[in-house]
Amino acid sequence: MLKARVIPTLLWKQYGLVKGVGFDSWRRVGPVLPAVKVYNQREVDELILVDIVAHDSGDDPDFESIAEFGQDCFVPLTVGGGVTRIEHVQRMLRSGADKVAVNTVAYDRPEFVTEIARRHGAQCVVASIDVRGSHRDGWQCHSHAGKVPTGRDVRAWVRELEDRGAGEILITSIDRDGTMTGYDLPLIEAVVKEVKIPVIASGGAGNYRHMVEAVVQAGASAVAAASIFHFTEQTPAEAKAALAQAGVPVRSSFVLEAAAC
Amino acid sequence: MKVGVLDYGVGNLGSVVQALQELRVVTTLVTRAMDIHGMDALILPGVGNFADCARVLEEGGWFAALREEVQGAGKPLLGVCVGMQLLADYSTEGTPTGSNAHASGLGFVPGHVEHLRVQGCDLRVPHVGWNAVAPQSSRGGLFHRIPSGTDFYFVHSYAFLTADPGDILATTEYGIRFTAAVRRGKVWGTQFHPEKSSRAGFQLLSNFIENPEC
């Protein structure tokens, strides 16, 4: 049976990891490389690494750093930030990324999603979407790390991204981001209902119960979280134990069988 | 023992090479088809579109070189993900609707590659994440010391349908039961990514290199 994934999100700005609240008031939380190494050693299910200022500079993504981070990562790695050309995708994959997250560029050129899917397969395109709003007023998609409202409604947008070839949706509530008050469950559920590709819930996880809710109630295939791992004693391993307790299948650690020949 | 990882311009080869180096195996990224002749064992990675991979391999002379080295000289070969699918006769991926012009593979393991939906899977596709792999025979070979039910990392929309059920080495359940690994003689393939499956993956790669036949 397919397992629910617990995915630490590492947000990266210039030389270090950061974490904010509502995509603002960023705090430095340490260097990137040791974090990747520790998560790899602890055999997390997957890692998401996003350069949150790459879209600002207009420069190419920092492939050298990505290669350095990818080198010691033997679990799947999704890399995002500043991807605007097909060559970027190619270089990221060669630098150790398994999947590439696209966000801002997709609003300007939705056909770029199709181009990546054709060249490298739908499985390597993670469509990352940041939204503000609520169940009552609807959710509006925002580009440029949450700064620019796009006028697009999340339901229509996820459908379009799926049609254009995205392999997964990473849906983040900006309002919940960093608050640790729980995922926006109606949002996750709305997106899950809209598409037939896997959905990763993001924004607001503060405890393990929140993760159980996102999977069991809202139907997410995976849960991403940052603050809970940066700022509390809670760990991905314990999160998975809590999910298992709630009846959600999770991956258990590999145990080498005794050699019996 | 020199292991050659075929670098024909697609996908994430970094992690395959890193994983092999972690196992202290002498690994070479082979960038020209003619250079595979100096290798003792070969790994064929692959991500993305089957038809694109097959075209690049054919044009670069890789198919011919592989036939010579694997079918002719009997060198062990491990195909990973689309690399495993390329062992088949053909895939329906990349074929325009209504057309019968399927992209041809190597034909080392008879059978073809078909979309999971067409195979009857009604769950979310792509199949992404960690899923349990059940080897057909409990011991030895590629799954030596890997318990049945061990989770490996998958990310794919198509899967292999072998012509000979005897070539199925392991299966996985995702709405349907599909082929997770194949073996025919000295040719192996895994639909999952051992290089991204942490310690379970290392064990499998080490089994391929050491080939414990116990």
The closest of B187, B168, B189 to B46, measured between CA atoms, is B189
State both tokens at A70: 């990818």
What chain B holds in terms of domains, given with CATH numbers, is 2-210 (3.40.50.880)
Taking residues A108-124, report their average pLDDT.
Answer: 92
- Is B196–A120 a contact, with Cβ atoms under 8 angstroms apart? no
Based on its alpha-carbon atoms, the radius of gyration of chain B, rounded to whole angstroms, reads: 16
State both tokens at B184: 């025919």
| pLDDT at position B86 | 97
Residue B99, pLDDT above cutoff 70: no
- Is B127–A2 a contact, with Cβ atoms under 8 angstroms apart? yes
Residue B98, pLDDT above cutoff 70: no
Q: Which of A92, A98, A200 to mutate to test the interface with B (most CBs of B within 10 A)?
A: A98
Which residues in chain A have their CB less than 8 angstroms from residue B132's CB? 1
Which residues in chain A have their CB less than 8 angstroms from residue B12's CB? 93-94, 96-98
Q: Which CATH architecture has domain A5-245?
A: Alpha-Beta Barrel (3.20)
Full DSSP string of chain A: -BPPEEEEEEEEETTEEEEEETTEEEEEEEEHHHHHHHHHHTT-S-EEEEETTHHHH-SPP-HHHHHHHHHT--S-EEEESS--SHHHHHHHHHTT-SEEEE-HHHHH-THHHHHHHHHH-GGGEEEEEEEEEETTTEEEEEETTTTEEEEEEHHHHHHHHHHTT-SEEEEEETTTTTT-S---HHHHHHHHHH-SS-EEEES---SHHHHHHHHHTT--SEEEESHHHHHSS--HHHHHHHHHHTT---PPPP-PPPP--
Residue B139, pLDDT above cutoff 70: no
| pLDDT at position B48 | 81
Q: What is the DSSP letter of B166?
A: G
| pLDDT at position A95 | 85
| pLDDT at position A72 | 79
Residue B70, pLDDT above cutoff 60: yes
Beta strands in B33-106 (DSSP E): 41-44, 77-80, 90-91, 103-104
Tell me if chain A has a CB within 8 Å of the CB of B112.
Answer: no
| pLDDT at position A35 | 93
pLDDT classification of B212: cutoffs 50, 70, 90: low
CB–CB contacts below 8 A, A to B: 136
| pLDDT at position B214 | 54
Residue A252 CB-density burial (10 A; 0-12 exposed, 13-18 middle, 19+ buried): middle
- Is A75–B132 a contact, with Cβ atoms under 8 angstroms apart? no
Q: Which of residues 148-167 of A touch B (CB under 8 A)?
A: 167
- The DSSP H or E segment spanning B53 is helix B50-59
* Facing residue for A98 by CB, picked from B12, B144, B157: B12
pLDDT classification of A14: cutoffs 50, 70, 90: confident
| pLDDT at position B137 | 76
Q: What is the DSSP letter of B21?
A: H
* Facing residue for B12 by CB, picked from A97, A196, A222: A97
| pLDDT at position B186 | 94
**Separation between Cα atoms, residue A75 and residue A41, nearest integer Å:** 10
Taking residues B97-123, report their average pLDDT.
Answer: 90
**Model-level pTM greater than 0.90?**
yes
User: In the predicted model, what is the mean pLDDT of chain A?
Assistant: 94
Taking residues B138-150, report their average pLDDT.
Answer: 86
Does B114 participate in catalysis according to the annotation? Answer: no
Tell me if chain A has a CB within 8 Å of the CB of B71.
Answer: no
Residue A121, pLDDT above cutoff 90: no
Which residues in chain A have their CB less than 8 angstroms from residue B192's CB? none
Tell me if chain A has a CB within 8 Å of the CB of B210.
Answer: no
Domain ranges of chain A: 5-245
Tell me if chain A has a CB within 8 Å of the CB of B118.
Answer: no
| pLDDT at position B63 | 96
| % of chain B exceeding 90 in pLDDT | 78
Tell me if chain A has a CB within 8 Å of the CB of B137.
Answer: no
Residue A192: what are its φ and ψ, rounded to 5°? -55, -40
| pLDDT at position B17 | 87
Nearest CA distance, A147 vs chain B (angstrom): 30
Nearest residue in A to B49, CA atom: A121
| pLDDT at position A120 | 87
For the stretch A23-51, pLDDT in tens is 998 999 999 999 999 998 888 999 999 99
Q: Which of B121, B127, B130 to mutate to test the interface with A (most CBs of A within 10 A)?
A: B130
Which residues in chain B have their CB less than 8 angstroms from residue A167's CB? 126, 128, 155, 157
Q: Which of residues 34-53 of B touch A (CB under 8 A)?
A: 47-49, 52
pLDDT classification of B49: cutoffs 50, 70, 90: confident
Which residues in chain A have their CB less than 8 angstroms from residue B139's CB? 260-261
Taking residues A63-82, report their average pLDDT.
Answer: 91
| A223 vs B15, higher pLDDT | A223
Taking residues B120-146, report their average pLDDT.
Answer: 91
Residue B52, pLDDT above cutoff 90: no
**Separation between Cα atoms, residue A166 and residue B126, nearest integer Å:** 10
**Separation between Cα atoms, residue B154 and residue B147, nearest integer Å:** 18
Q: Which of B127, B128, B154, B176 to mutate to test the interface with A (most CBs of A within 10 A)?
A: B128
Residue B90, pLDDT above cutoff 90: yes
Tell me if chain A has a CB within 8 Å of the CB of B173.
Answer: yes
Which residues in chain A have their CB less than 8 angstroms from residue B156's CB? 123
